[in-house]
Amino acid sequence: MEAGRGVVEAAFAVLDQVRVQEPARLLDLAAATGIPRPTVHRLLGQLLAVGAVRRDGRKYWLGASLLTGGGQLERQVRAAATRPLAELAARTGAGVTLGLNIGGRSVYLQMIDAHEPLGVTAQPGEPVESGTAQLEALTAGDFRPYIDAGRVVRGLTCVAMPIPLPGTGTAAITAMARSPHPSPTLLNATRQTAARVADRLGALEVR
C-alpha cells in the first residue's frame, strides 16, 4: 500500500474502481489504484464479507449493500420479508426469491430453494436476469402479478409480485415451481405474501 494511505481510503479507492470497471479484475484494480495486488486481494475479501462487492470467478461487481443506497433499504426489506418468504416456501414447496430495484439497478437480495431443488441460483447482489418475471415486476411500474410459464427455463413456472416502496424503489417476491403453469394456490400465496411484506414495510417506515 502507498505510504500514508489509510485502509479506509484504500478500500474506497478499490470500490470506486470496481464501480468504474464493473466487472473488474484484481489485476486491473491494482493497476488503476496503485495498490499492491496482495493488498487489493485482502481488501476485496473484507468487502465481500460485508456485501459491498460480489465475485463471480475472477471478476468483481458492486454488491447489494452499495447498489441499494448504502444498505439501509436493503436491510429493512430483508427484515420485513425474511419470515413471510420462509413461510411461503414452506407452504407451497416452491423456490422463492426477493429482489430490489433502486437507482435503476435490479438485484437479488435472498433466495430459498424449493423442497426439490430447481437447479437455479440467485446470489445476494447478483443482477436479476433479463426476460424474467421478477425483472418485469421490478421495473414495469404496474403493481400486478407477472408470470413466466417456461419462457426462461423450460418446465419452470414463476410468479412475481411487485411491492411498491417509498420514492422510486420497488421490491418483488417470486415463487418458482416445476410446472407448465402456476397453480391458483401458488398465485394466491405469492400475492398474500407480497401484501404481508408491504404491511411490514409500512410498520418499519421505509425511507
Give yes or no for residue 185 having a pLDDT over 90: yes
> In which band, very low, low, confident or very high, does the pLDDT at 70 lie, cut at 50, 70 and 90?
very low
- Domain assignment present for residue 1? The answer is no
> In which band, very low, low, confident or very high, does the pLDDT at 160 lie, cut at 50, 70 and 90?
very high
Give yes or no for residue 3 having a pLDDT over 50: no
pLDDT given at position 203: 56
- Given 26, 41, 62, the domain boundary residue is 62
**What contacts 101, CB < 8 A, 6 or more positions away?**
107, 128, 138, 139, 169, 170, 171, 172
CA distance 56 to 198: 32
pLDDT given at position 175: 95
| Least confident among 11-20, 46-55, 107-116 | 46-55
> In which band, very low, low, confident or very high, does the pLDDT at 133 lie, cut at 50, 70 and 90?
very high
Determine the structural domain holding residue 43 and report its residue range.
7-62
pLDDT given at position 150: 76
Give yes or no for residue 178 having a pLDDT over 70: yes
Residues 54 and 83 in one domain: no
Q: Kindly report the backbone phi and psi dihedral angles of residue 5, in degrees, each rounded to the nearest multiple of 5, phi listed first.
A: -85, 120
CA distance 143 to 162: 6
Residues 184 and 128 in one domain: yes
**Which segments of the chain does DSSP mark as H helices, in order?**
7-21, 26-33, 37-49, 64-67, 72-92, 133-139, 184-204
CATH of the domain at 191: 3.30.450.40
pTM confidence score: 0.67
Number of domains in the chain: 2
Give yes or no for residue 205 having a pLDDT over 80: no
User: Quick check: 195 and 155 in contact, CB under 8 A?
Assistant: no
Residues 32 and 98 in one domain: no
Short-list 151, 141, 187, 165, CA closest to 78: 165
The mean pLDDT of the chain is 83
- Domain assignment present for residue 67? The answer is no
CA distance 156 to 97: 14
- Domain assignment present for residue 144? The answer is yes
Q: What is the pLDDT of residues 135-150, one digit of tens each?
A: 999 998 888 999 998 7
Averaged pLDDT, 17-34: 89
Residues 32 and 99 in one domain: no
% of the chain beyond a pLDDT of 90: 36
